[in-house]
Structures are given as C-alpha cells and as structure tokens.
C-alpha cells in the first residue's frame, strides 16, 4: 500500500501552482544576462512553454502575466490561445519600476502627475484582467529611499493609501488586489512596503478584496516565514505566495532548492491554516532561471512544491497534538521530523503513473524533443526577458 493515503492523494490532485511568464524569458544579474537558446520572443511563446510544464506535471494550469512585458493588442485572443493549450491566464502583475518618471516613487510620489500615471497603469491592468479572465492584480512597488532624511516616510504611507484606495475602487466584484512586500532593493535605506505588517495595514484599510502577497525571498535571513504564514492565514489576509529560494538576497532561485525544510514548514502551516487547495490562497512561483534551461527549471520547481506538500501531508496530526498537549518537546519534534524525513519520491512517481502522467516529468520533457524544437525554431527576433 502506498504511503500516500487516498486523502493525501486527493489533496495532491487538487494542487495547482501558477507559473510566471517571466521565468521563461532571459534574466540575469546586473553583471550579465546570458541568452538561452530557444527563449520565447513573444507572450504567446512564453505561454506555450508554460503549457509544457503543465502537460508533464498537471500541476501548473495557469500563467501570470507582467504588464507591459506581456503587452498584446488583443488580450481576449491571448486568453483563447492559452486555453487552447490547456492553461488559463492568471495574476496580472503591474510594473512601476522601469520608467524614468518613477525614479523617486510611483504610488507614493509627491508629484500628482506621476502618481496619476502610476494609478492609471494599475487601472489599465484591471481592464486587462477583465479580458484575460484574471482574478488577481499583484502589486510590487520598488519605492523607497537610499539615505536617512531623503524622504518623508510618513507622507509616503499616506499617499500610498490614497493611491491604493483609488485602484481598489476600480476592482470588479470578483477581482482582488494583492500587495507584495520586500524588505529592501532597489531602495537600500527604507522601502515603502518592506514587511508583512505594512502590507497588512495597507490592505486592511482597503477592504476584503485586498490581501497580502508573501514572496518567500523577500525576508531578512533567519526570518521565521512560516510564522508569518500562520499569522496571515489566522487573519484571513494571505492572498498569495510567490515561491522561490534565496541564499543571500532576492535570489529568485528554484523553490525548495536552498532550504527544502523551510518549504516543508511553510506548507505545513498552510495545511494547518486551511490554505491548501483553498482558492483564496494562490500558489505562484516568482523565479528566474539565469543559467539553467527555463522549462526544466519550472518543472523541477513545481515538483519540489509537490514533494514538500506530500511530506507535510504525512505529518501525523493526532500524534503531534498529543505530544504538544503533553509538552513532550522531543516527541512533538520527532513527529514533525519523521514526516519531513520520508522519501515520498517513489510513491509520487507511482501515483503520477496511475493518473496517466509521466512517473518522471523531467525525463519525459527531456525525451519529448520540445527543447530541441524551440531551439531550432526560435532564432532571431528579440528574446523576451526580465526587463525586456
């Protein structure tokens, strides 16, 4: 009998992880962007690559877009294109970090003209969401200051509230806004939305359709991220995850690569808080594949999330509760670690096959010939990428 009980299998079958369109484009550091052969040149090609990830895993049925990187003339046609490939268009990400006007802020800017422009960009994103069928508008702001005394931090919070209020008012009944926080970068002294508390305060002031987005890479080293997950779920304000791994800063590496145990602990709290397969809590990746091939990078990522979900589902809840109630520190820890230490890979491979999926999605993609095909076909043109 499989270690994956029928309840665990049902939970795993319900899992979906949204892929970021920008993961398929070229990306890099400020030192160099290395081009990868076969990189998409259009939003359509990014979506086609994302559909491959879903084809071999059945884990990634939607793709997030970034505006204006994924700007097209006809979003309804783009939606049909995606649906024909078996995926839907997901979260729309705004971009107020690549325009000279935003050097000193966008939604927090003191100049009304610039603030108006930034608000209008978000309203345009909401219009796009209508055509793509997207529910969520994700806002990450690159705003802050570099030197003490440079900016009136308090006035900027007030202007942020005013700007978000206007954007929130433009949302449809079934649409949501998620506000992402990040502790530093590109600003190095203060950031206007640096932490979950600030994001929470801002979205709580807006209403039920505004929630927090937690990017796992956006915390100081040593932060207990699963505590934040627990607290936001407790408050009913965890709207979405941007999953990735970090060693040092906002590394955007493959989720679960740097610290699989942290991913396990986070998913355990998601399950504990009722957030698994709960449509209110979106699982997304926010990653860049600077030196590895992008499609296998995304396949590995969703498999890592699936693997840690399976392990977290193996935690014996009754035994854990009993050990906690008895203040049996070591027994409680052992229950937790037993699940984390279980190798679920053979059982997952078997379960995938039983559902008509490849036992080894990485190998299935490698054998499919898709990578060779796009490398031969996609020559010339401008390769899309982070910042393109």
Min. distance of Cβ 217 from Mn ion in angstroms?
5
By beta-carbon proximity to Mn ion, the closer residue of 11 and 266 is 266
Q: Is 215 in the site for ligand PSV (CB under 6 A)?
A: yes
Q: Where does residue 68 rank: exposed (0-12), middle (13-18), buried (19+ CB within 10 A)?
A: middle
Among positions 99, 124, 195, 250, the unique one binding Mn ion when judged by CB under 5 A: 250
Min. distance of Cβ 137 from ligand PSV in angstroms?
12
Q: Which of 104, 107, 110, 133 is nearest to 121 (CA)?
A: 107
Min. distance of Cβ 298 from Mn ion in angstroms?
15
By beta-carbon proximity to Mn ion, the closer residue of 217 and 358 is 217
- Partner whose footprint covers residue 93, from ligand PSV, Mn ion, none (CB < 5 to 8 Å by kind): ligand PSV
- Binding-site size, ligand PSV (CB under 6 A): 8
By beta-carbon proximity to ligand PSV, the closer residue of 93 and 262 is 93
Residues of this chain, 59-98, that bind ligand PSV according to CB under 6 A: 93
Min. distance of Cβ 77 from ligand PSV in angstroms?
24
Residue span binding Mn ion (CB under 5 A) among the ranges 39-47, 62-70, 214-222, 271-279: 214-222
Torsion of CA 44, 50, 56, 59, to 10 degrees: -130
By beta-carbon proximity to ligand PSV, the closer residue of 241 and 264 is 241
* All residues at 6 or more sequence positions from 126 whose CB lies less than 8 Å from its CB, including other chains: 92, 137, 167, 170, 171, 172, 175
CA distance 16 to 146: 39
Q: Is 18 in the site for Mn ion (CB under 5 A)?
A: no
E strands, the chain, in order: 19-20, 62-66, 88-93, 136-140, 144-145, 176-180, 190-191, 210-215, 238-243, 282-285
Locate 155 and state its tokens: 């006035």
By beta-carbon proximity to Mn ion, the closer residue of 9 and 245 is 245
Q: Is 45 in the site for Mn ion (CB under 5 A)?
A: no
Q: Which of 71, 21, 25 is nearest to 50 (CA)?
A: 21
Backbone angles phi, psi at 69, to 5 degrees: -55, -35
By the 8 A CB rule, do 49 and 24 touch? yes
Among positions 182, 219, 294, 311, the unique one binding ligand PSV when judged by CB under 6 A: 182
Q: What is the DSSP string of 28-46?
A: B-SS-B---TT--SSHHHH
Task: Indicate the DSSP class of residue 86.
Answer: T
Q: Is 242 in the site for ligand PSV (CB under 6 A)?
A: yes
SS3 category, 50: helix
- Partner whose footprint covers residue 39, from Mn ion, ligand PSV, none (CB < 5 to 8 Å by kind): none
Min. distance of Cβ 217 from ligand PSV in angstroms?
7
Q: Where does residue 161 rank: exposed (0-12), middle (13-18), buried (19+ CB within 10 A)?
A: middle
By beta-carbon proximity to ligand PSV, the closer residue of 196 and 351 is 196
Min. distance of Cβ 351 from ligand PSV in angstroms?
32
Q: Is 136 in the site for Mn ion (CB under 5 A)?
A: no
Locate 77 and state its tokens: 């046609």
Site for Mn ion, rule CB under 5 A:
215, 242, 250, 286
Site for ligand PSV, rule CB under 6 A:
93, 140, 180, 182, 215, 242, 250, 286
């Amino acid at each position: 009998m499989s270690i994956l009980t029928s309840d665990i299998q049902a939970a795993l079958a319900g899992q979906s992880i949204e892929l970021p369109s920008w993961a398929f484009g070229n990306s890099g550091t400020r030192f160099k962007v290395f081009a990868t052969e076969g990189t998409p040149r259009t939003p359509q090609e990014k979506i086609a690559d994302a559909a491959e990830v879903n084809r071999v895993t059945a884990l990634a049925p939607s793709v997030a877009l970034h505006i204006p990187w994924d700007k097209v003339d006809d979003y309804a046609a783009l939606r049909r294109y995606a649906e024909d490939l078996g995926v839907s268009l997901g979260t729309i990400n705004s971009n107020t970090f690549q325009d000279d006007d935003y050097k000193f802020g966008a939604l927090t800017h003191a100049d009304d003209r610039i603030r108006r422009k930034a608000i209008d960009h978000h309203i345009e994103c909401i219009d796009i969401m209508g055509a793509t069928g997207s529910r969520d508008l994700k806002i990450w702001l690159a705003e802050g200051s570099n030197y003490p005394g440079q900016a009136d931090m308090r006035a900027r919070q007030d202007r942020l509230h005013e700007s978000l209020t206007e954007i929130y008012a433009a949302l449809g009944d079934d649409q949501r806004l998620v506000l992402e926080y990040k502790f530093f970068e590109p600003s190095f002294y203060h950031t206007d939305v640096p932490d979950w508390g600030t994001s929470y305060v801002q979205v709580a002031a807006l209403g039920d359709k505004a929630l927090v987005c937690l990017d796992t890479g956006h915390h100081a080293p040593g932060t207990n991220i699963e505590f934040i997950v627990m607290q936001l779920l407790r408050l009913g304000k965890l709207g979405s995850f941007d999953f990735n791994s970090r060693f040092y800063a906002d590394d955007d590496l493959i989720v679960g690569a740097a610290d699989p145990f942290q991913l396990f602990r986070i998913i355990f709290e998601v399950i504990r808080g009722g957030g698994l397969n709960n449509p209110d809590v979106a699982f997304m990746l926010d990653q860049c594949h600077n030196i590895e091939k992008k499609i296998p990078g995304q396949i590995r990522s969703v498999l890592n999330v699936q693997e840690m979900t399976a392990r977290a589902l193996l935690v014996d809840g009754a035994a854990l509760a009993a050990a906690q109630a008895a203040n049996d520190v070591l027994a409680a820890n052992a229950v937790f670690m037993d699940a984390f230490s279980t190798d679920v890979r053979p059982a997952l491979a078997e379960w995938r096959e039983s559902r008509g999926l490849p036992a080894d999605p990485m190998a299935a993609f490698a054998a499919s010939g898709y990578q060779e095909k796009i490398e031969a076909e996609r020559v010339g043109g401008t390769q899309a990428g982070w910042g393109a």
